[in-house]
Each structure stands twice: as structure tokens, then as C-alpha cells.
Structure 1
Amino acid sequence: MTNDGTYTAVVDRFEGDLAVLLLEADGETVGERVLDRQRLPEAGRHVDAVFTVELADGDVTTLDYEPAVTESRAEDAQRRFDDLSQRPPSRDDESK
């Protein structure tokens, strides 16, 4: 069970009317919570949306959407993908 406190939560997926949020602490996934999709602010009702959440007695008591963090993570992921998709130089290119 995840301890009470403040966590970063990321929408992992939707299962019908439910949102599955992965809880993070210090960059590591430490748990998950399942919430009714309607509890999420409309702007944050998408996969990879980032929230700051507070847990009390194991339940989510506050849920704040973090649009700047969401955008930053998306940009970082795209940058890593772009870096990985670059073709490494061939032996012919290296000899020139």
C-alpha cells in the first residue's frame, strides 16, 4: 500500500469510465490508483496527463493537473524518440 502524502500521478490508461493513474515518487513508480474518469479535470483527461495528488487514508484527496509538466514530459519523450530514430553513420560515411 502506498503511504499517505503527495505524489506525481500520470494517467496510464482508461478502462471504460475509469482512469488508471501511476503514482511516482523520486521518479519511480510506487503504486497506482483507479479513479472515475469524471474526477479528472477535463483538460487532463488524456493518457500521459500529469497531476499532483495527495493521498489520505489511501484515497486521493486532491488532484491538480500540471499542464506545463505534461507538455515538458511529452517534449522530452519526443526528443528521445527523435534521437533514437537518427540513422547511425555507415562505415562509408565514417571513411569520408
Structure 2
Amino acid sequence: MDGTYTGVVDRIEDGEIAVILLEENGQVIEQVDVPVGRLPEPAQTDGGVLSVMLEDGDITSMEYRPDATRDRRESAQEKLDRLSEKLSDREE
């Protein structure tokens, strides 16, 4: 697997291993696990978005994408807000 992909930090396991989901055209195509210390510092949290370059299936570089991270978090919050409103409507 070669190329540059969007990577999203799905979770940090035991404070040591970052599980990164690689995406292509908005679809998850692969999962890679890396030591947290290899991540750019701002990406060392769930939901961090990265540009991940692979050569022969190995990560050769990762670059944190702050704008993409912010956009995803805002989108997720908007979805949660809409769901919350729908639940509130049902309770009335």
C-alpha cells in the first residue's frame, strides 16, 4: 500500500498505541497502529486528522491537519446537537 491518505486517530489504547483509520474517498480502507510518540503532538488525541504517507505499507510521514480536525469535530458536534433536539422533541 503506497500513497498519501487521510488518517484519523480513532483511539489511544493504554496511553501507548494510537489506532489510526486510513481513509480514501471518505471510506475507511485500513487500520494502522503506531506508538503515540510517533504522532505529531497536536494529533495525540482521539479525532486528530493527519495526512499519512505510506511506502510499501510502512508509514514514512504524518502531518497534522488542524483545519480538518476542527471541521470534523464541529460536524460531529452538530450531529450530536441535532440528535439531542430530536430526543427532546420525543419527550414532550
Structure 1 length-normalised TM: 0.85
- 2-structure distance, mates of 1:81, 1:15: 24
Residue 14 of structure 1, aligned match among 6, 12, 28: 12
- For these two proteins, the number of residue pairs brought into alignment is 89
Q: TM-score, normalised by structure 2?
A: 0.89
Q: Please, which runs of 5 or more residues in structure 2 have no aligned partner?
A: none
Cα distance in 2, alignment partners of residues 81 and 36 from structure 1: 30
Q: 1:89 to 1:15 in 2, by over 3 A?
A: closer
- 4+ long deviations beyond 6 Å: none
Q: Secondary structure at the match of 1:19?
A: strand
Name the one with the larger helix percent. Answer: 2
RMSD, matched Cα: 1.6
Larger Rg: 1
Identity across aligned pairs (percent)? Answer: 42
Q: Supply the distance in 2 between the matched residues of 1:66 and 1:24 (Cα, whole angstroms).
A: 14
